[in-house]
């Protein structure tokens, strides 16, 4: 007989080595997340997937599933916390959805809609962040980076390179690239690298491709992020 | 003209009357009048009191964002900014208008006709028709589309539905009624499906028929009080706009033509990429809006009008039959080479609505709008200029980018800017001829707004107010004492506060 946990009262099987997120995904249960993608080592930094396990808060993407765990996810308290975390992500950077080319394809925007985030709540920081368009085919708009490290992990784990890293601490945290000049053009990033395509927001973009997908054909035009995530990401699980 | 009323000499001793804000226009502006002890107008100005800064904050952004970013200038005519920017960034990817795929060119034209149709319908039916149907000095409760719907329900509903149809054209082509996508560098991101085309075809004949009826209505209104309509706020000016190579009315792409008040050609078929050799802008301290003028005529005589009146005046003919017949009647009514009546803006605007509706029908029957050949690419360039006839007139977008595709410089000359001098002159004409020497009342002051409204100004190209804008009038005597106050509250109520 397989081992099981419960998420919001629903019994879910898991295998040894799976995290709570892995087990949830495999059972078609969506737990909001931004820094997690099944093909990369879990990072546990965005805190959106925080669930309550036997009364204690844990990141579902990093916490191993264990026999008999009672996991709470869709509680008012946790949903409110997720909304606050998302609002903080929005105000900390410069996320202007109306003109952003990632709109409709953006996971941050998708999560915000999923959580019914209707305003920023917190005062906007309006940070002064640069755009690095030096690379001929890839652009970094630091205004939109949420420090999820997916590009860092994709570059290391899939591309076999080490193009990106996060530097600084706290409010001074920022994305850096592996070049003396600090410019993307001086790294060995290639436009076909996974790292150039993995960004969940509009921070790393393929140049000159914006708005080519018409409204109505974008990822989240007809489906919410939970449906998309369960349909796409759990197929990748375990690959 | 009335330029002597721009700046009075002994300003400190004059009474000041302020209309703030001007209502039923796009954006935020105010009118100030300075009056002497006999209520004679000594100074009249239209001030644009908001500052946007788009030219500055698009610097540092990648060029492909421009059509989507700059269309946020406006909620009424975003498509015009979208397409002007798209024409400019076409050049950045090496595509001149003649090299744009045929399907993309036609889809952009369809999008633009939808836009001009909805914007003109909004302006005429929602914003201006109350003045024209109920009189310029009618009671304030009648000065809104709500009163039009109550007393002329059929007309009001036609206006609302005409606008809706234009918005639906925009939605089919660009994905959203307001602030869609659609145009990208070198082409379009989608064509129309058969279902989308058929949906738009369903109502187009009705739209043409309503548009034709609206032209007949404005002709009747205008001609039933001809001396007044031909005189009110009227100024004799130069006119500027795009035309096709054969001189036909053109809204999407053409050469610059300018004519003087007698209809003599000042310039014709000018490549708009060289606009800077022909048009300069002057700055004045009391308004955020600049004053463009034709270099060859100088600052004093080089100012000009743009928009429907300029376009219908300037063109040799219109290439759709009903609108052309309407144009011929329109031009014949004044007996002059050029129609100078400011209120004729409304008439010319409705002729353009008819032209748009006819052109939409033609394009919907053209199979090219369902083609999949939508994008072309050429050699990268570092400078792009896009010019288009927006609903309110000629719109210039000019960008420079660096080797990394980042915008380094931007210059936008928005249509309303070109009409700045003309609106000020019209305000001064009304102040001098219709208000001067009379005791000012709120209905009387609406005359000033009627003059401004005829131009359909988009003062911010962003905000928009209908009807119930709060308004405060203060009458101050030569000693600086407040002697009378009128307040219009947000609920539309007028209150006289005795000082």
* pLDDT tens figures, A12-46: 999 999 999 999 999 999 999 999 999 999 999 99
How many percent of chain B have pLDDT more than 90?
A: 61
Best B404, B407, B408, B462 residue to mutate vs chain A (most A CBs within 10 Å): B404
A 75-104 residues with CB below 8 A of B?
Answer: 98-99, 101
Which residue of A lies nearest to B401 if distances are taken between CA atoms?
A133
Worst-scoring range by mean pLDDT, B36-50, B314-328, B398-412, B476-490?
B476-490
Across the A:B interface, residue pairs with CB atoms under 8 Å apart total 55
The closest alpha carbon to B108, from B375, B345, B316, B286, belongs to: B375
CB-CB contact of B446 with B19 (8 Å)? no
User: Can you tell me the mean pLDDT for B37-64?
Assistant: 82
Domains of chain A are 1-122+211-239 (3.10.20.740), 129-208 (3.30.70.20)
Q: Which two tokens stand for residue B245?
A: 């190579």
pLDDT of residue B436 exceeding 60, the answer is: yes
Kind and range of the H or E element at B350?
Answer: helix B344-364
Taking the C-alpha atoms of residue B202 and residue A192, their distance in angstroms, rounded to an integer, is 46
CB contact under 8 A, A99 and B72: yes
A 189-208 residues with CB below 8 A of B?
Answer: 207-208
State the pLDDT at residue B448. Answer: 84
State the pLDDT at residue B438. Answer: 82
B 83-142 residues with CB below 8 A of A?
Answer: 93
The per-residue pLDDT for range B226-260, each reduced to its tens digit, is 999 999 999 999 999 999 999 999 999 999 999 99
Of the CA atoms within 13 Å of residue B277, those in its CB half-sphere come to: 7
State the pLDDT at residue B32. Answer: 84
Where exactly does CATH 1.10.645.10 map onto chain B?
A: 101-232+348-375
State the pLDDT at residue B108. Answer: 98
User: Can you tell me the mean pLDDT for B305-315?
Assistant: 97
Q: Which two tokens stand for residue B205?
A: 């004949």
Average pLDDT, chain B: 89
Measured between beta carbons, which residues in chain B are less than 8 angstroms from residue A212? 184, 189
CB contact under 8 A, A214 and B189: yes
Taking the C-alpha atoms of residue B475 and residue B35, their distance in angstroms, rounded to an integer, is 9
Taking the C-alpha atoms of residue B100 and residue B185, their distance in angstroms, rounded to an integer, is 10
Worst-scoring range by mean pLDDT, A110-114, B47-51, B345-349, B406-410?
B47-51
User: Can you tell me the mean pLDDT for B131-146?
Assistant: 84
State the pLDDT at residue B28. Answer: 67
Measured between beta carbons, which residues in chain A are less than 8 angstroms from residue B62? 131, 133, 139, 207, 210
CB contact under 8 A, A212 and B62: no
State the pLDDT at residue A88. Answer: 97
With cut-offs at 50, 70 and 90, classify the pLDDT of residue B486: low
Query: Exposed, middle or buried: residue B154 (CB in 10 Å: 0-12, 13-18, 19+)?
Result: exposed
Q: Which two tokens stand for residue A47?
A: 């805190």
pLDDT of residue B340 exceeding 60, the answer is: yes
pLDDT of residue B471 exceeding 90, the answer is: no
User: Can you tell me the mean pLDDT for B137-165?
Assistant: 89
With cut-offs at 50, 70 and 90, classify the pLDDT of residue B270: very high
State the pLDDT at residue B41. Answer: 85
CB contact under 8 A, B68 and A216: no
Average pLDDT, chain A: 95
Q: Is the four-CA dihedral B1, B6, B7, B12 of positive or negative sign?
A: positive
The SS3 call for residue A150 is helix
CB contact under 8 A, A215 and B174: yes
Q: Which two tokens stand for residue B309?
A: 């009146």
A184 to chain B, any CB pair closer than 8 A? The answer is no
pLDDT of residue B432 exceeding 80, the answer is: yes
CATH number assigned to the domain covering B101-232+348-375 = 1.10.645.10
pLDDT of residue B465 exceeding 70, the answer is: no
* B374 phi/psi in degrees, rounded to 5: -115, -20
Taking the C-alpha atoms of residue B170 and residue B87, their distance in angstroms, rounded to an integer, is 18
Q: What angle do CA B102, B107, B113 make, to 5 degrees?
A: 125
State the pLDDT at residue B4. Answer: 84
With cut-offs at 50, 70 and 90, classify the pLDDT of residue B470: very low
Q: Which residue has the higher pLDDT, A69 or B283?
A: A69
pLDDT of residue B469 exceeding 50, the answer is: no
CB contact under 8 A, B404 and A133: yes
The closest alpha carbon to B276, from B475, B411, B84, B78, belongs to: B411
């Amino acid at each position: 007989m397989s081992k099981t946990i419960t998420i919001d009262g629903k019994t879910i099987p898991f295998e040894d080595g799976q995290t709570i997120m892995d087990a949830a995904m495999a059972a078609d249960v969506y737990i909001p997340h931004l820094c997690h993608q099944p093909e990369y080592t879990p990072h546990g930094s965005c805190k959106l997937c925080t669930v309550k396990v036997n009364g204690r808060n844990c990141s579902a993407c990093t916490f191993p599933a264990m026999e008999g765990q009672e996991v709470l996810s869709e509680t008012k308290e946790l949903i409110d916390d997720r909304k606050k975390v998302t609002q903080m992500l929005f105000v900390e950077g410069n996320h202007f959805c109306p003109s952003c080319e990632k709109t409709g394809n953006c996971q941050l925007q998708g999560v915000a809609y999923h959580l019914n985030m209707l305003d920023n709540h917190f005062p906007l920081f309006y940070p002064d962040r640069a755009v690095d368009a030096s690379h001929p085919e890839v652009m970094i708009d630091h205004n939109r980076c949420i420090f999820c490290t997916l590009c860092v992990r994709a570059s290391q784990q899939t591309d076999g390179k080490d193009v990106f890293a996060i530097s600084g601490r706290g409010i001074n945290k920022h994305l850096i690239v592996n070049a003396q000049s600090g410019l993307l053009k001086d790294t060995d990033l290639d436009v076909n690298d996974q790292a150039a395509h993995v960004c969940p927001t509009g921070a790393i973009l393929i140049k000159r491709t914006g708005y080519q997908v018409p409204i109505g054909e974008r990822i989240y035009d007809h489906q919410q992020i939970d449906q998309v995530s369960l349909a796409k990401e759990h197929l990748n699980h375990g690959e | 003209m009335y330029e002597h009323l721009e700046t009075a000499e002994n300003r400190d001793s004059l009474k000041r009357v302020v209309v703030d804000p001007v209502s039923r226009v796009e954006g935020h502006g105010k009118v100030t009048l300075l009056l002497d002890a006999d209520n004679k107008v000594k100074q009249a100005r239209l001030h644009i009191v908001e500052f946007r800064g788009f030219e500055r904050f698009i610097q540092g952004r990648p060029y492909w964002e421009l059509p989507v970013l700059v269309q946020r200038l406006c909620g009424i005519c975003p498509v015009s900014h979208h397409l002007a920017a798209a024409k400019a960034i076409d050049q950045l990817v090496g595509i001149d208008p003649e090299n744009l795929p045929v399907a993309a060119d036609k889809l952009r034209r369809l999008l633009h006709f939808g836009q001009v149709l909805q914007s003109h319908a909004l302006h005429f039916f929602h914003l201006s028709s109350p003045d024209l149907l109920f009189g310029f000095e009618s009671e304030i409760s009648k000065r809104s589309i709500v009163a039009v719907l109550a007393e002329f329900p059929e007309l009001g509903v036609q206006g609302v539905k005409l606008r809706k149809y234009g918005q639906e054209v925009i939605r089919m082509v660009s994905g959203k009624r307001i602030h869609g996508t659609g145009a990208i560098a070198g082409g379009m991101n989608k064509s129309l499906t058969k279902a989308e085309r058929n949906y738009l075809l369903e109502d187009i004949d009705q739209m043409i028929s309503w548009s034709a009826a609206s032209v007949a209505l404005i002709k009747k209104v205008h001609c039933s009080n001809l001396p007044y309509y031909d005189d009110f706020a009227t100024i004799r000016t130069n006119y500027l706009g795009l035309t096709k190579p054969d001189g036909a009315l053109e809204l999407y792409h053409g050469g610059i033509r300018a004519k003087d008040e007698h209809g003599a050609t000042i310039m014709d078929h000018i490549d708009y990429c060289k606009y800077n050799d022909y048009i300069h802008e002057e700055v004045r301290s009391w308004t955020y809006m600049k004053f463009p003028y034709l270099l060859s005529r100088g600052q004093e005589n080089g100012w000009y009008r743009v928009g429907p009146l300029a376009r219908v005046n300037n063109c040799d003919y219109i290439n759709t039959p009903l609108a052309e017949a309407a144009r011929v009647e329109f031009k014949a009514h004044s007996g002059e080479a050029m129609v100078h009546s400011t209120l004729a803006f409304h008439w010319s605007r409705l002729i353009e609505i008819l032209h748009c509706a006819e052109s939409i029908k033609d394009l919907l029957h053209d199979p090219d709008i369902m083609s999949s050949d939508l994008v072309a690419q050429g050699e990268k360039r570092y400078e792009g200029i896009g010019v288009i006839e927006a609903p309110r007139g000629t719109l210039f977008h000019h960008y420079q980018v660096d080797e990394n595709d980042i915008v380094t410089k931007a210059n936008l000359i928005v249509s309303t800017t070109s009409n700045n001098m003309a609106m000020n002159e019209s305000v001064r004409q009304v102040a001098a001829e219709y208000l001067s020497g009379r005791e000012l009342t709120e209905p009387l002051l609406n005359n000033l707004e009627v003059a401004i409204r005829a131009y359909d100004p988009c003062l911010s190209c962003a905000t928009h107010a209908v009807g119930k804008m709060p308004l405060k009038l203060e009458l101050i005597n030569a000693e600086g004492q407040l002697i009378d106050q009128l307040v219009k509250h947000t609920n539309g109520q007028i209150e006289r506060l005795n000082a």
